[in-house]
Homo-oligomer: A and B are copies of this chain.
Amino acid sequence: MTEHLPALVTLLTILLMFGTAFAVGLARGRYGIQAPATSGHPAFERAFRVQMNTLEATLLFLPTLWLAAHYGFAFWAGIAGLVWIAARTWYALAYLREAARRGGGFALGMVAWMATLLMALAGLGRAMLAG
């Protein structure tokens, strides 16, 4: 079970990214923003920034999640990953409504990511010292 937790977190991350891309598509339709434009209405621009920021955060998160899992922290990295998913979902939903509300989810996601980063650093350091 523990060994599958990072895989589960990865799938949830993919679904979150898909959700934020879907929100951009909806906003394109609702506000009449024709591709390839990426501006033209504040609500569309928020949806677009949510997608891009989620993508940026995912690129920081997935490699550290898997390094932490590989170097002996599959369970705790998985738990931090579930917190990260919750935080980034909160961030996305809040930012879609109002840019000023994005701080809480962002900060919690950052803490959860930093936890996986510390696990990856600790695990890798331990493995390198052991030869």
Query: Which residues of A line the B interface, CB within 8 A?
Result: 1, 4, 7-8, 10-11, 13-14, 17-18, 21, 34-38, 42, 45-46, 48-49, 51, 55-56, 58-60, 62-64, 67, 70-71, 99, 102, 117, 120-121, 124, 127-128, 131
Asked if A59 and B63 sit within 8 Å, CB to CB, the answer is no
A127 to B6, CA, bound (A): 13
CB A29 to nearest CB in B, in angstroms, measures: 14
Residue of B nearest to A18 (CB): B60
Asked if B35 and A67 sit within 8 Å, CB to CB, the answer is no
Asked if A131 and B1 sit within 8 Å, CB to CB, the answer is yes
A120 to B9, CA, bound (A): 12
